[in-house]
Amino acid sequence: MRVIAGSARSLKLVTPEGMDTRPTTDRIKETLFNIIQTEVPGARFLDLFSGSGGIGIEALSRGAEYAVFVDNGKEAYDCITRNLEHTRLSERAKVCRQDVFTALASLEYKERFDVIFMDPPYGQELERRVLEYLTMSSLIDEDSLLIFEAKIDTDIDYLEQLGYDLIKEKRYKTNKHVFVKRRKK
């Protein structure tokens, strides 16, 4: 896995061992960043369920102002920290080794994010729980873009009920990226 573009272009990233993480392939990462390319420069970026930190590091490399990485695994935390040092992006990043919901609560009223990306374990409805939390959160506003990765057959019919507008759904062979914004009041 490597950084695709920007200041850290072509630098290789380390990933946690084992099956607990699914690093986003370079091809899918490139597609994702082609879709959000206008949102990233100058953005405050939150990478939830970060794994190796590859998505948030790509955002920093492409000009995001600041990124927060959240993962509760020790190996993931170590990988993110090493990758940030290797890419020389540490000074614009914060790494939280916490459960995602604990981290969200600790960031509340202290941070606001322009883009939130999450790649939770599949089949546990964690993306829905995060979106439920964010419906009334100070961490986002109506202009914030929320993106989550899920299995291709994941039901997202709940989005409207939670107060989100579906902006785009990009399908791949086995998974998809879903792009949403909080509905304007």
**16 found inside a domain:** no
If you search the block for the tokens 């927060």, which residue do you land on?
68
In this predicted structure, the answer to whether residue 4 has a pLDDT above a threshold of 80 is no
Query: Domain holding 148: CATH number?
Result: 3.40.50.150
In this predicted structure, the answer to whether residue 166 has a pLDDT above a threshold of 70 is yes
Identify the domain containing residue 39 by its residue range: 26-182
In this structure, which long-range contacts are made by residues 151-159, counting pairs with CB atoms below 8 Å and at least 24 apart in sequence?
Answer: 151/122, 151/123, 151/175, 151/176, 152/176, 154/122, 154/127, 158/128, 159/131
User: What are residue 133's phi and psi, to 5 degrees?
Assistant: -60, -45
pLDDT value of residue 19: 47
In this predicted structure, the answer to whether residue 60 has a pLDDT above a threshold of 90 is yes
DSSP string, the chain: -B--SSTTTT-B----SSSS--PPPHHHHHHHHHHSTTTSTT-EEEEES-TT-HHHHHHHHTT-SEEEEE---HHHHHHHHHHHHHHT-GGGEEEE-S-HHHHHHHHTTT---SEEEE-PPTTS-HHHHHHHHHTT-TT--TT-EEEEEEETT---TTHHHHTEEEEEEEE-SSEEEEEEEEPP-
Span 63-109, pLDDT tens digits: 999 999 999 999 999 999 999 999 999 999 999 999 999 999 999 99
**63 found inside a domain:** yes
Q: What is the value of pTM for the model shown?
A: 0.92
20-47: average pLDDT: 87
**4 found inside a domain:** no
**7 found inside a domain:** no
Structural domain count, the chain: 1
Work out the pLDDT band at 10, boundaries 50, 70, 90: low
**8 found inside a domain:** no
